[in-house]
Homo-oligomer: A and B are copies of this chain.
């Protein structure tokens, strides 16, 4: 118990099983197509019982799409909230690029998942569903920044929330754009870089639209 006592044996094993399942389902789905894969076969490859599979994931699909992104540490959040002045979409874009970086797993997993997402749009929808919590957290953070930037807005709670939610959803749309570009590339940039690109394009769009 000298090096790192954070992750005990139990925790490490759990993580390993989780990865094993995800790896198994991704490889199987790639080999035999999504519909041709059964939980039984996944379990055989991952060396667990079929029953155990459902202790980790509620469905085959959930094992494929993985977890949604998570918001960053509180210290950096504070700097986002207080870092007024600049374009808010730029700032949100940075937040998202960092989240994308943090969520990135090994490259093989990423590529397999990407290919499956491309073939099966409904998996993509599942991924969107898994982002709801992220969305809500993001909206809350953006609302705090808006209130900090413009205290007069903070008095009208409804307007504040509405605007924060709109910014969130536009940002999520931009994130989807980044995903879409990333998926279309043969085998290219990191997702984080693509995210920054898309937010840059959004910036150009805004300037053009407002200058009309």
Q: Which residues of A are interface residues toward B (Cβ below 8 A)?
A: 85-89, 121-122, 124-126, 128-129, 132, 162-163, 165-167, 169-174, 176-177, 180-181, 198, 201-202, 205-207, 209-212
Contacts and interface: CB of A to CB of B under 8 A. Distances in A.
A90 to B, nearest CB: 9
Contact of A169 (B89, B177, B206): B177
Contact of A125 (B125, B202, B211): B125
15 contacts: A85-B212, A88-B209, A121-B129, A121-B132, A128-B129, A162-B201, A165-B177, A166-B173, A166-B174, A166-B177, A167-B205, A169-B174, A173-B173, A209-B210, A210-B211
A69 B180 CA distance: 22
B121 A125 contact: no
Contact of A206 (B126, B176, B210): B210
B181 A162 contact: yes
Contacts of A180: 165, 169
Of the listed residues A85, A125, A202, the one surrounded by the most CB atoms of chain B closer than 10 A to its CB is A125
Contact of A205 (B85, B163, B198, B207): B163
A120 B173 CA distance: 22
Contacts of A198: 166
A166 B207 contact: no
Contact of A207 (B122, B132, B210): B210
Given A162-B181, A166-B177, A207-B210, 11 more contacts: A86-B212, A124-B129, A125-B126, A162-B177, A165-B177, A165-B180, A170-B173, A172-B173, A173-B173, A206-B206, A210-B211
